[in-house]
Amino acid sequence: MIDYLIKGGSVIDGGGSEAEILNVGIEGDRICYVGNEETAARRVIDAEGMIVAPGFIDTHAHSEFTILADGRAEGKLSQGVTMEINGNCGLSAAPLLGEAFERREADQEELGIKERWNTFGEYFDFLRKKGFAINFATLCGHGNVRASVMGYKDDAPTESEMRAMKDLLAEALSAGARGLSTGLIYPPGVYSSSEEIIGLAKVVVSERGGGIYASHMRSEGDGLIESVEDTLKICTGAGIPVHISHIKTSGERNWDKIETVLSMIGEAQSRGMKVTCDRYPYIASSTDLDTVIPSWAYAGGLQDELKRLRDPGTRAKIRAELMGNDDSYWQGIYISSVSRPENKWMEGENVFDVASRTGRHPSDAVIDITVEEGARAGAIFFSMCERNLKLFLSLPYAMIGSDSSVRSCSGPTCFGKPHPRGFGSFARFIGKYAREEGIVSLPEAIRRLTSLPASVFGLGKRGLIRQGFFADLVVFDYAAIRDEATFKEPFRNAQGFVHVFVNGTLSYNDGVLTGVRAGRIV
């Protein structure tokens, strides 16, 4: 007698094939049966009229700290996500040494995390002890490696510093990191050269016999084409598969660059280069508010940045650079999170309105908020167009990455007005863009949520409904799939997802968390 029999559902196996009415059996943490026979089971789940698919893989997550603070992962689990790829945009859970360790202290304090660590091994031990509901895989952040060795200085590494960075990366890969990520608009990644990154990416290839390089590129707007060229150069120089994070054309003046970008990627692929990407199904992005400030102001780290913003002469120089943006630019930037009680009214408001209500120019408002919040204010940026979003979502090599951390509707991760993508990306892709818009067929949508990312990120025995594969499964009502999270009310679970299994454990049952934390480090 097996543990579970999911009976009579329309099975879409993740490989791109059309749905087929089949039974799926689970024994322990594996799929033990796929076929037409009815096998005796301790529990039978009637899936008639519903879709049975592999659990979804979020290819771009930032859950390093929130999953340690609250392992329930409600926002992800409630939309069928059973696995995350973390460590993106140059920021990972480890290594954390020197200035990298110091910079993360505020994040840990904000979430009530008591544990402290330096290495991935130490972090993984803490995570296992706490327990977490979905599977956790990670890349190693270039920003962590550089800041641990060099701090946040705007300089090229010396030979000894480069050797130390390579050693830290090799240690991270040995502990389980699946590749290297960069965040080339953030300090300290913004100060690195392509040659530095190629040197580190070669370590990934030698240590893992493959691996992957994922990049938040140097520009996603005015310098987009040059940034794609740079990313492909790194791919060629290191001989490594490359994954473009949250691919976009940011800013209306850059929307027409999409054809050039897709042509460049297509040409690279035709030459045998392995190039993939991810995208969230929204036209607004989200990151730190201070990313609008010139990158030279970041040099030296947080305290140096804040010192520059407080200095009248330097502030005037920064303000002059920001004054070139018109009112519509500031109206498209919304404050998503602040920590000071007196600033909480700003959450969900755009910068232009915040500035107007306080009698300031928007550039002054941004500088003041950054100083008051210790450069920790979050923001949402409306800078993309629907046409280009649909083009990106239609690409056969594009996956869905929420670009968000795990959060729940209560507890330590329920704060601010975060981007709704954390609770809605996968439901929105299936419900709006597959079912309603017809951008992709449902089997193709499922393939790009499951077997494609499993293959690209080397997640063995996951992403397909096959005998012997891990039983990460989702059962959903296709007609009822709907994202409920909004920019004003982001903490709202998606609809239509009925059952979710993680490693053979029923973790989401009849639309409710079971409370079981069956996730594993992969």
pLDDT at position 391:
98
- At residue 86, φ and ψ (nearest 5 deg) are -105, -175
pLDDT over threshold 90, residue 209: no
Please measure the distance between the N-terminal and C-terminal CA atoms of the chain and give it in whole angstroms: 28
For the chain, helix (H) and strand (E) counts, in that order, are 19, 21
Where is average pLDDT lowest: 47-51, 232-236, 374-378? 374-378
Cis, peptide link before residue 396, omega less than 30° from 0: no
* pLDDT value for 503: 98
Class at the top of the CATH hierarchy for domain 2-54+465-485+493-513: mainly beta
**CA quadruple 301, 219, 406, 283: dihedral sign:** positive
Give the pLDDT score at 331. Answer: 95
> In this predicted structure, what is the pLDDT of residue 298?
86
Taken in order 116, 117, 120, 123, the sign of the CA dihedral is negative
* 67 pLDDT higher than 90: yes
- Mind listing the pLDDT tens digit for each residue in 156-177? 999 999 999 999 999 999 999 9
**210 has pLDDT over 90:** no
Confidence (pLDDT) at 491: 98
d(CA 304, CA 298): 7
* Local confidence band at 10 (pLDDT 50, 70, 90 cut-offs): very high
What is the model's pLDDT at position 189?
97
CATH of region 56-283+384-456: 3.20.20.140
Mean pLDDT across 400-414: 98
Q: Residue 366: its pLDDT value, please?
A: 96
Per-domain residue ranges for the chain?
2-54+465-485+493-513, 56-283+384-456, 288-382
Q: Percentage of the chain with pLDDT > 70?
A: 100
DSSP per position, 240-294: --EEETT----SGGGGGGHHHHHHHHHHHHHTT--EEEEE-SSSEEEEEGGGGS-
Answer yes or no: is pLDDT of 276 > 90: yes
Q: How far is CA 467 from CA 25, 33, 341, 470, in A?
A: 9, 6, 53, 9
pLDDT on residue 221: 96
Tens digit of each residue's pLDDT (9 = 90 or more) over 429-458: 999 999 999 999 999 999 999 999 999 999
pLDDT score, position 299: 85
Q: For the CA atoms of the chain, what is the radius of gyration? A: 22
pLDDT of residue 504: 98
**Average per-residue pLDDT for the chain:** 97
Task: Indicate yes or no: pTM above 0.75.
Answer: yes
pLDDT reported for residue 459: 97
Whether 62 and 21 have beta carbons less than 8 Å apart is answered as no
- CA pair distance 328, 518, nearest whole angstrom: 46
Q: Rounded to an integer, what distance in angstroms lies between the CA atom of residue 48 and that of residue 54? A: 17
Q: Give the model confidence (pLDDT) of 222-275 as tens digits.
A: 999 999 999 999 999 999 999 999 999 999 999 999 999 999 999 999 999 999
Per residue in 121-136, pLDDT (tens digit) is: 999 999 999 999 999 9
Per-state percent for the chain, helix, strand, coil, to nearest 5: 40, 20, 40
C-alpha 124/C-alpha 521 separation (Å) is: 8
**What is the greatest pairwise CA distance in the chain?**
77
Look at residue 301 in the predicted model and tell me its pLDDT: 84
Alpha helices in 134-177 (DSSP H): 142-150, 159-175
